[in-house]
Amino acid sequence: MTVAETPRTPATEPDVPPSLQVSGLAYAYPDGHQALFGVDLTVARGERVALLGPNGAGKTTLVLHLNGILDAGAGTVTVAGLPVAKRNLPEIRRRVGIVFQDPDDQLFMPTVREDVAFGPAAAGLRGAELEERVRTALERVGMADFADRPPHHLSFGQRRRVAVATVLAMEPEILVLDEPSSNLDPASRRELADILRSLDVTVLMVTHDLPYALELCPRSVVLSGGVITADGSTQELLCDEELMRAHRLELPFGFDPRSVTVPPR
């Protein structure tokens, strides 16, 4: 599979709002468990950022605030200048596309084509415009030749690519990926990396796969104990042994981030 590379430079013009602005976000679940204690995070348009942290750090809670599934207990979340509020939820949920860890949680129609068409059709798209949206999304993930196949007949890696296409068909501002490399064989992992590098969207990648974060995301943030504890170059963070130990982040045996030549954005 060949995926064309698209040059991607994060937007830095002062009149372009960031893709994501989280300010003072705090949240406690109904049972009293406090998951977030005041998260501040800005992601510029076009950035690829990895969200790292141990289990229980609050990563899922943070992600569920990005498209209004959870309401902030305190603080604000803004997507491309649009506040995440009840009146804006239909547009927010178009702009923030979440790809689940298990693609089978996202694919439920008889064919790949119908799965990818579901979101745009629900938003009112019809006819030739809908067909073009589906075709383009499948081409972007290298799955155009599988449009009429049942999703359950595809490999796990192919289903994950189709799950990405279902989100791309909505033309999102931000693509949020939950553990995108989990359960992928090496070839499928590389194919997905090629696809993600080719996309002209902002990417927030939640992952425990630290080499994958280094490969794809020039910047990483560490969420631990419900707060952002580090924010910087992925390579520099992974080389900070004290930081890694403090937040239960471990590299695979024998992997040295200092030896990796990080590809350009």
The string of pLDDT tens digits covering residues 93-152 is 999 999 999 999 999 999 999 999 999 999 999 999 999 999 999 999 999 999 999 999
Does residue 206 lie within any of the structural domains? yes
Task: Give the model confidence (pLDDT) of 198-240 as tens digits.
Answer: 999 999 999 999 999 999 999 999 999 999 999 999 999 999 9
Can you give the chain as a three-state secondary structure string?
CCCCCCCCCCCCCCCCCCCEEEEEEEEECCCCCEEEEEEEEEECCCCEEEEECCCCCCHHHHHHHHCCCCCCCEEEEEECCEECCHHHHHHHHHHEEEECCCHHHCCCCCCHHHHHHHHHHHCCCCHHHHHHHHHHHHHHCCCHHHCCCCHHHCCHHHHHHHHHHHHHCCCCCEEEEECCCCCCCHHHHHHHHHHHHHCCCEEEEECCCHHHHHHHCCEEEEEECCEEEEEEEHHHHHHCHHHHHHCCCCCCCCCCHHHCCCCCC
Give 50's pLDDT tier (boundaries 50, 70, 90): very high
> Which comes out higher in pLDDT, residue 52 or 1?
52
Does residue 93 lie within any of the structural domains? yes
Q: What is the CATH number of the domain that holds 180?
A: 3.40.50.300
Per mean pLDDT, which range of 7-11, 29-33, 170-174, 238-242 is the poorest? 7-11
pLDDT at 263: 61
Closest CA to 151 of 87, 106, 196, 214: 106
Does residue 12 lie within any of the structural domains? no
76: containing domain: 20-249
Does residue 254 lie within any of the structural domains? no
pLDDT at position 35 over 90:
yes
DSSP bridge partners of 227:
224
pLDDT at 193: 95
DSSP bridge partners of 48:
203
Q: For the chain, what is the domain count?
A: 1
pLDDT at 210: 97
Does residue 244 lie within any of the structural domains? yes
Identity (one letter) of the amino acid at 162?
A: V
Supply 188's token pair. Answer: 């499928």
Does residue 232 lie within any of the structural domains? yes
Does residue 260 lie within any of the structural domains? no
Does residue 37 lie within any of the structural domains? yes
